[in-house]
Amino acid sequence: MRLFVGKCASLSPPPPTCDLPQFTPHPWLDQINSLLDLKLVQVHEDEMVSDIRRSSPAALRNRNPILEILKTVLPRNGLILELASGSGEHVVHFAAVLPNLTWQPSDPSGDALASIGAWVAAEKLDNVLSPLNLDATAETWPIKRADAVIAINMVHISPWVATLGLLRHAGTLLPAGGPLFLYGPYQRQNEALAPSNAAFDADLRARNPAWGLRYLEDVTREAEAVGLKLDRVVAMPANNLSVILVRA
């Protein structure tokens, strides 16, 4: 069974804005649809003609704060693999600002892959490769190496096995010193959750018991087991964290 990996922002009133394209025949499709806040981009406003690009308000809100951290994390040159690229708005924004890097978006959703390709074409970016159909839980991935790996708002909106797959493969793909960048809300031992994150966690687990905010300590422990060491954790807006791991 293929497991969906998508994006979702942390909850703060109003309710969570998520970037979760459909993937048929996923058994959780109804749950995913209930979290959707994606809109088709209007190409000609007067004529209301739409294309296959999707737009996520969450991605538009968080892309600049994330970019500022990525500038300090990513190598000056090389191949950057993004998992769960969703609408594609993150990767085109990052690629436009960091043109010396080659970007490899990916997603397991056909609709997401179409949206990513359309955004890349519309922005006329020549440093973004064709998106890969990539399932984080798969035994093998359709890519053999990357100089950095990023996953934005993936860990909490997918089963734990998807995070384990991400860590395992990143530990193989990355060179020594290569970073794995994670972004999203987390729980931390001996720290109370912010009320918005607690509500978001409860909402996710009610929709699917396999989802929910992970303990950062669990993630870093599993990462260490596959040769990834915690470099630093950066507090981000809306009670999110940027988590930077590096291959030993």
Name residue, tokens 């809300």: 185
Q: What is the pLDDT along the chain (248 residues), one digit of tens a residue?
A: 333 334 443 333 333 334 333 333 344 434 443 454 555 554 444 333 348 999 999 999 999 999 999 999 999 999 999 999 999 999 999 999 999 999 999 999 999 999 999 999 999 999 999 999 999 999 999 999 999 999 999 999 999 999 999 999 999 999 999 999 999 999 999 999 999 999 999 999 999 999 999 999 999 999 999 999 999 999 999 999 999 999 99
Residue 154: left (phi > 0), alpha (psi -120 to 50), or beta? Answer: alpha
**2 within domain boundaries:** no
**100 within domain boundaries:** yes
* pLDDT given for residue 41 in this prediction: 54
* pLDDT given for residue 39 in this prediction: 53
Domain hosting residue 196, numbered range: 7-247
* pLDDT given for residue 203 in this prediction: 97
pLDDT tens profile 52-109: 999 999 999 999 999 999 999 999 999 999 999 999 999 999 999 999 999 999 999 9
**185 within domain boundaries:** yes
Q: Are strands 106-107 and 132-133 parallel, antiparallel or unpaired?
A: parallel
- Cβ(239)–Cβ(10) under 8 Å? yes
Number of domains in the chain: 1
Query: Distances in Å between the alpha carbon of 235 and those of 78, 238, 243?
Result: 26, 9, 9
* pLDDT given for residue 51 in this prediction: 80
Gap between the Cα atoms of 120 and 133, Å rounded = 16
* pLDDT given for residue 60 in this prediction: 93
Closest Cα partner for 149 from 180, 107, 104?
Answer: 180
**54 within domain boundaries:** yes
**204 within domain boundaries:** yes
**134 within domain boundaries:** yes
Q: Which residues contact 130 (CB under 8 A, 6 or more apart)?
A: 117
**1 within domain boundaries:** no
Q: What is the CATH number of the domain that holds 134?
A: 3.40.50.150
**184 within domain boundaries:** yes
